[in-house]
Structure 1
Amino acid sequence: MTIITDERCTGYHAPGHPERPQRISATKARLRQQTDLPLQWTQPGEITDQDLLRAHSAAHLQRLEEPRDFDMDTAWLPEIHLHARRSAAAALTALQLALAGQPAFSLMRPPGHHATRDRAMGFCYLNNAAIAALAARARGVQRVAVFDFDVHHGNGTEDILLDQPGTLFVSVHQHPAYPGTGTSHRGSNCRNYPVPPATPATEYRAHLQHALADLETFQPDLLIVSAGFDAYIRDPLARQMLEIEDFHWLGAQIRSLGRPTLTLLEGGYSRDLPELIFAYLKGISGY
């Protein structure tokens, strides 16, 4: 497993905001001190406007540089467009590794799955998963799946990939919850599994298994995982009941699909995030 990160991604913050630098710094410290799982480390490579414009409009890229907040949750901050580009670049580095047979995890911020083609929202500025999926298609990968298990629906990824040939988007998420989308399947390729608040972990796993069955049926040549750890019982931004062992189980289930896989960090705002990520990485690595 290769971890992709860049220390500059902890160099911005909005006071009091839950999407804080410690999400990365604490996780990096936990992964560096552990001895159970062999890890390699690398930094993001380069990304071009062409890579971004497959998923986003030129107007959106320009808007990211304009010093006005995007919404109450998504602030404009100095150099936020550069931070977002590095996070998207990490997704492409993870893509390159996965296509070479090396599983990869992008430990970066900002997250991406709420960003639509034309709008930054929900802590997200550029849609890393969609950028990677469309880059893979442009490189000739025939069947690309995105599996989003963040507790909030990946509305932006759905917006960008809806009815895109050769792609599948599958999401398991709490509803009702932000952003209020994902109540039913959409188009020819977007499968949504909304889960009520406070669903017992055994029932939540059943919803995840429906999503995993969709992935198995699709038989992707590449699997992109939008990994949000906010369905955890002690996460402050949702009302679900998953424990640490559930994320290990989910990683193991993804591994059992036997597909080239890259994972991108989305949400997860509890103090236990480093342990949740570590459990997931052990599961997806077969430990």
Structure 2
Amino acid sequence: MKIVFYEDFKRTDYAADGASVPGRMERIMDALVREGGYDVVSPEPASSGDLSLAHSRTHIAGITKDMKLFEMASLSAGGAILASEIAFKKEPVFACIRPPGHHTSKNSSWGYCAFCNMGILQYGYRTPEVERERAHQECIRTGF
């Protein structure tokens, strides 16, 4: 199994609130390393094009006013993208990424969630090839 992780995900200085708990990522990664058998892969930050799949330009520009948060959230979104690419190849993967991005919308965010990782993936993978594969899998599942 591959683990998507980047050492900067251990940082907590990008968040002003208490939700970014120091030591959280260290404990997770320490446990995984002790268990062994995993390949750790590092993501690249999501591009502005990736971010704009789920967010308005105004929202993205607003997040860039806090560069620590922007850098971490872009890297987290890039981690989600990398994990989905690995999973789409039918390889097992775990994305150990922060911030998660679940408190967001197209034009706003709350706390240290800046970009909606799942929304970026949802819109980014609506290609003809992916839709054809989804349709094929649905036919298999339903017996058609």
What range is the shorter-chain TM-score in?
0.7 to 0.9
How many residue pairs match? The answer is 138
Q: Is the 8 A contact 1:136 1:144 kept in 2?
A: no
State which of 78, 81, 92 in structure 1 corresponds to 2:70: 81
Q: 1:116 aligns with which of 86, 93, 105?
A: 105
- Report Cα offsets for 1:88-120 as digits up to 9, x if no partner: 000110111111111211101011112111111
Name the CA distance, whole Å, in 2 between partners of 1:129 and 1:144: 19
Where is the helix percentage greater, Structure 1 or Structure 2? 2
Stretches of structure 1 lacking an aligned partner (at least 5 in a row): 68-77, 146-165, 167-217, 221-256, 258-287
1:90 is paired with a residue whose SS is helix
The question of whether the paired residues in 1 share the 8 Å contact of 2:45 and 2:77 is answered with no
Partner of 1:12: 12
- Alignment-derived partner of residue 223 in structure 1: none
Mark the CA change 1:139 to 1:46 in structure 2 (over 3 Å): closer, same or farther. Answer: farther
> 2:59, 2:16 → 1: CA distance?
25
RMSD: 2.7
More relative contact order in 1 or in 2 (CA 8 Å, sep 6+)? 2
Q: Could you say which structure has the higher strand fraction?
A: 1
1:133-188 residue CA offsets vs partner (Å, 9 max, x unmatched): 2111147311899xxxxxxxxxxxxxxxxxxxx9xxxxxxxxxxxxxxxxxxxxxx
What is the alpha-carbon distance in structure 2 between the residues aligned to residue 26 and residue 137 of structure 1? 35
Structure 2: which 5+ runs fail to align?
none
Q: Which residue of 1 aligns with 2:57?
A: 58
Q: TM-score, normalised by structure 2?
A: 0.82
**Aligned residues with identical type, % of pairs:** 25
Change over 3 Å in CA distance of 1:144–1:45 after alignment to 2? farther
- 1:127–1:94 distance in 2 versus 1, CA, 3 Å: same
How far apart in 2 are the matches of 1:144 and 1:8? 35
Distance of 2:53 and 2:123 partners within structure 1: 6
The residue aligned with 1:31 is 32
Q: CA separation of 1:139/1:3 partners in 2, compared to 1, >3 Å: closer, same or farther?
A: farther
Distance in 1, Cα, partners of 2:28 & 2:54: 29
Deviations 1:209-266 (Å, cap 9, x if unpaired)?
A: xxxxxxxxx949xxxxxxxxxxxxxxxxxxxxxxxxxxxxxxxxxxxx9xxxxxxxxx
Alpha-carbon distance, 1:123 to partner: 3.5
CA distance in structure 2 between the aligned counterparts of 1:141 and 1:3, rounded to whole angstroms: 23
TM-score by length of 1: 0.43
